[in-house]
Amino acid sequence: MVKHFKRKSLPQRGYSTQELLDFFVENLDKNNFYVVMALDELEALIKKEGGEPLFKLTRFYEDKPPNIPQRISLICIFREPECEEIFRLIDRSTLSTLGFHILKLEKYKDYQLKDILNQRVEEAFKENTVLPETVELIADLAGKYGDARFAIELLWLAGKYADRKGLTKVQPEHVRAAQAYTHPTLKTEYLKMVGLHEKFLLLALARLLKNIESAYVSIGEVEKEYRIVCEEFDEKPRAHTQTWKYIKNLSLMGMISTKISGKGQRGKTTLIGLPFPSEKLEVEILKMLEKK
């Protein structure tokens, strides 16, 4: 920011932080400028430098005449505002200066993440290359954490997967692959813990999602495919009540994701998806079933 004023005599090194700050404010006064500094993820600065930089910024006008305009205002953004470890590194006078106006931002909701993702899609992808179902799945996955950065990372990785396969569409399966890469969730020990018919349900779901562009399928479609899988392995399928219990158990284990259908669908039904690649799940389950 100081370099913006292009003072030729200003060297790269040789001035203290306080001298640079004085020079900066001097030029703000000279040009009648005001600055609002947004310090994002301030924890990182405090962990590295302690509370001194924040002290200098907040107390700069403390020894100045009361009638001069205060040219610097701060917006301090903390990811973890209740973190006591961080605030122990800041002296009380600085904390009192910061503590007058506090705005706590809630985690992003699914619909907010969709808006953010759609904006990024418009900026970064060719038109009609990212399916609406893809954006919906990313928003659902990232919505559990309320994390926009994670959502954008999933979008970027999903696009990379599509590029690598030479495809012109970014599909939900690419998102599931990206999810497995960023937060590996498919653990074979979990698969070993579930019963035979739960494995059949997972296999049915994996096969359905592998061959469609949608991020979710209805419970009716899963049950229909489940009966086909049971026939394939010469097993009698369980009744709807029992399969519903299986689905609830798999959801609690984090093996599947469920939600209620929304707009654009007649009536309300349970929709089921996967948080990891369907093709990988199918391979792992078939390996286990073949051993048996």
pLDDT at 13: 59
Q: Considering the domain 2-98 in this protein, what is its CATH number?
A: 3.40.50.300
Measured in whole angstroms, the distance separating CA 156 from the mean position of its chain's CA atoms is 12
271 forms beta bridges with: 218, 259
**Per-residue pLDDT, 263:** 62
3-state secondary structure of 36: strand
Strand 72-76 with 35-39, pairing: parallel
The pLDDT, as a whole number, for residue 11 is 58
Rounded to whole angstroms, what are the CA distances from 111 to 6, 44, 145, 175?
A: 45, 29, 13, 18
Q: Give me the pLDDT at residue 105, please.
A: 78
- pLDDT (0 to 100) of residue 54: 79
For the chain, give every domain's residue range: 2-98, 110-182, 188-291
Enter the DSSP assignment of 98: H
Cβ contact 35:28 at 8 Å: yes
The yes or no reply on domain 110-182 and CATH 1.10.8.60 is: yes
Tell me how far apart the alpha carbons of residues 35 and 18 are, in angstroms, rounded to a whole number. Answer: 17
Q: For residue 67, what pLDDT is reported?
A: 80
Question: What is the residue whose two structure tokens read 């158990």?
Answer: 249
pLDDT confidence of residue 185: 60
The pLDDT of residue 99 is 62
Q: Does domain 188-291 have CATH number 1.10.10.10?
A: yes
pLDDT for 4: 59
Q: Is the pTM for the entire model greater than 0.85? A: no
The beta-strand segments (E) located in the chain are 35-39, 72-76, 217-218, 257-260, 270-273
pLDDT along the chain (292 residues), means of 10: 55 69 84 88 76 78 79 81 64 67 81 94 94 92 84 92 91 87 65 89 94 88 95 94 91 84 70 87 90 69
